[in-house]
Chain A
Amino acid sequence: MSRFVINARGINHRELNVRVRTAAEMGSERIVLRNVHGQRYIGTNLRKPVRVEIFGTPGNDLGAFMDGPSLEVYGNAQDGLGNTMNSGEIIVHGDAGDILGMSMRGGRIFVQGNVGYRCAIHVKEYGSKVPVIVIGGTAQDFFGEYMAGGRVVLLGLTQRKGGRLRANFIGTGMHGGAIYVRGGVDPEQLGREVGVTEPDEQDLIFLSGAVGSFAARFGLDPASLLGDRFIKLYPKYLRPYGRLYAN
């Protein structure tokens, strides 16, 4: 596999992304970015299934509108990771910021650590195109807000033993998709539109696949993760605000 290394030190996002794109167009299939320091939009304008390894801290909107590539971050990511992403994969060996996966349309995101506020907001889905997000750690408030589709898994591995997820307003306005939480949540933490149930057989098949992929990417044992209790959060109503109006 042809490998191309770019030293990102001291160059701005526009120039860095041009270099990455040029490398991909020249036929590099594996592009390594060293010394990344806050450059935005990495992966945005790449339309090839290249693999980009990012060392350092990429800036906001990593993989925004991305269509095809796979990005692997050895470090932490910032806000807006996978914003309106269409296809491809993003792996983060660290934490990520707010609105991760906002309006995501397809592809997969795996984060080893924790994520910020309003992650998985307004994730979409249609037919066979189902985005998947697996978070190894915890998430903050408004997780899965307005979700219209997709599958999101929250593993809570960074919590202290016996600790619980602290997020509130989970799934507010949710009207599609599903959220799986390892260990469970209290009803007060959920949006009013969210129902709680035990995962059924189909859910368990999905979970073993998604959690298995997560474990494989971070060198963990999937059996130890899947042995714990999961709950499934689902939208109670197709039209959460259908009764808001005087019709």
Chain B
Amino acid sequence: MPFFAPAQFLIERDDARCIRCLVCVHECSFEVHVHDPERDEVWSRDERCVGCHRCETICPTGALAVRLNPMDLRPNANWRPEHVRDLQKQAETGGVLLTGAGNDKPFRVYWDHLLLNASQVTNPSIDPLREPMELRTILGRKPDQLEFDDRQGDLVTEIGPQVTLETPIVFSAMSYGAISYNAHVALIQAAKEFGTLYNTGEGGWPVEFRRYGPHTIAQCASGRFGIDLDYLESAAVIEIKIGQGAKPGIGGHLPGEKVTPAVAATRMIPTGTDALSPAPQHDIYSIEDLAMLIYALKEATGYTKPICVKISAVHNAPAIASGAVRAGADMVAIDGFRGGTGAAPKVIRDNVGIPIELALAAVHDRLVKEGIRNRASILAAGGIRSSADVVKAIALGADAVYIGTAALVAMGCTLCQMCYTGKCNWGIAVTDPWLTKRLNPEIATRRLLNLLRGWSLEIKEMLGGMGINALESLRGNRLQLRGVGLEDWELKVLGVRGAGQ
């Protein structure tokens, strides 16, 4: 039965410029471009195009342009083209619609409604180019109080394990399997060179990466892939993944297309199977059980590493975060509903969870109110797009932020949201060796280092403008923020005043 399934993108080919090099034909993993050797013509099957712009970027003569198909159905503010397309696809397949990357719907982005302060006349601003400016961030449980030896003045209080970041930006969890080997190499190299951390994600770790352990957060998720004592002991931090912002409350199925022999070996599952991450961790049905896993990991590593608990930003995130801290977590990561994913049901990605800005503010306030904020560092994740977002997150109460999508974009991602297909044309969200080779790990490392450097310089500029010379002084300092275009309840949750107040 024929049905209406228009192309999402239209490919414009300037035949006068095309030199028939066929690079577009060879490079497109979605097989959009076709060469007819008899007529020596190149044409395109637009309906297959996902809008990644790979062909347009590599075409040596600039003969290609990929444009969004306006799909001029009768205008309808309710039944938008996306709904029509999704309905058609489900009527055709009867399946769950999948997607990749983060929530792309026009919900309010609170970062864009928060403005920063700057000093004028009093408390003079600081020029970070000439004056010392401290971005160093130390993550881990801080003691409730410090006790000193009466005679010598030596510190008596036992300080738990801590990790030091040179900038408050950490690469968030993206598993080996969801993203390529080369992408992992780049992230880990950049983290090492800049003095920050990278997160393995839940897919385990190729053993040759273990020498990078001191710059690594090793994840322990419901699938328990690739977890042994060497993995846990080599890392700087261990993270228990309870939830992910893009898909709170559900597990994950890494599609079989991406489970190559190398991925299968790392995860200890059959090649070509879907890697199943159950929705819950089946040894955690309560806060008490969470405490049990936290202490199992502490026992396994001799109490030498901070344990982080990562949760999705959901309605009752503050109570959950409080429970996690009381259960023994040294760090809590909160992942907002705009966080990315390698594969998630579209209906979950677009409808479940709450914005990180609100969740972060609420969690920080709750922990402060309960007098336990010192016991855990907070990592904010899910939709951090710029250094300004980082500064605002820290002012709302974060110790540091996780970036995932921003790092992928730095490596070349164009956010076509096709990560779940295993066909990423940029060699990023893919495991196919032929496609993986497109990402040069050295170039990608340099680009990630540039991102960290650029953001860090900008953060120093913003801090200096506020007359602050240490990031620590900004943490939870909501007086440096003002809201614009926000309602009273939103200002109240964020704990900020309106602009002009």
Contacts and interface: CB of A to CB of B under 8 A. Distances in A.
Interface of A: 13-14, 17, 40-41, 44-45, 47, 60-61, 64-65, 67, 79-80, 83-84, 86, 99, 102-103, 105, 118, 121-122, 124-127, 129, 145-146, 148-149, 173, 175-176, 238-247
Smallest CB-CB A-B distances: 6 pairs = A246-B95, A103-B224, A124-B268, A246-B93, A126-B268, A148-B269
B256 A238 contact: yes
Contact of A65 (B94, B228, B264): B228
A176 B269 contact: yes
A149 B270 contact: yes
B96 A239 contact: no
Contacts, number: 138
A176 B270 contact: yes
B89 interface: yes
Contacts of B98: 245-247
Nearest to B268: A124
Q: Which of B267, B282, B295, B297 gathers most chain A CB within 10 Å?
A: B282
Contact of A99 (B227, B274, B282, B297): B282
Contacts of B227: 65, 84, 103, 105
29 contacts: A14-B303, A40-B296, A41-B295, A45-B229, A65-B227, A65-B232, A67-B228, A67-B229, A102-B224, A103-B227, A105-B227, A121-B282, A124-B224, A125-B269, A126-B265, A126-B269, A146-B278, A149-B268, A149-B269, A173-B276, A176-B269, A238-B256, A240-B276, A245-B95, A245-B97, A246-B89, A246-B93, A246-B98, A247-B93
Contacts of A125: 268-269
B136 interface: no
Interface in B259-292: 264-265, 267-270, 272-274, 276, 278, 282-283, 292
A239 B272 CA distance: 8
A175 B227 CA distance: 19
Given A13-B299, A44-B300, A148-B269, 4 more contacts: A125-B269, A145-B282, A176-B269, A246-B98
B13 interface: no
A18 to B, nearest CB: 9
B268 A129 contact: yes
B273 A176 contact: yes
Given A45-B299, A238-B273, A241-B276, A83 B283 contact: yes
B264 A102 contact: no
Contacts of B90: 246
Given A126-B265, A175-B270, A238-B272, A247 B296 contact: no
B223 interface: yes
Nearest to A117: B282
A122 B283 contact: no
Contacts of A239: 256, 272-274
B92 interface: yes
B282 A102 contact: yes
Contact of A148 (B97, B270, B282): B270
A84 B278 CA distance: 15
Contact of A241 (B97, B253, B300): B253
B106 interface: no
A67 B230 CA distance: 10
Interface in B312-350: none
A246 B299 contact: no
A105 B347 CA distance: 34
Interface in B222-261: 223-225, 227-229, 232, 253, 255-256
Nearest to B261: A126
A146 B283 CA distance: 14
Q: Which of A148, A246, A247 gathers most chain B CB within 10 Å?
A: A246
A122 B292 contact: no
A122 B273 contact: no
B442 to A, nearest CB: 31
Nearest to A86: B228
Contact of B296 (A44, A103, A243): A44
A242 B93 CA distance: 13
A100 to B, nearest CB: 11
Contacts of B292: 40, 60-61, 80
Given A45-B299, A121-B282, A105 B273 contact: no
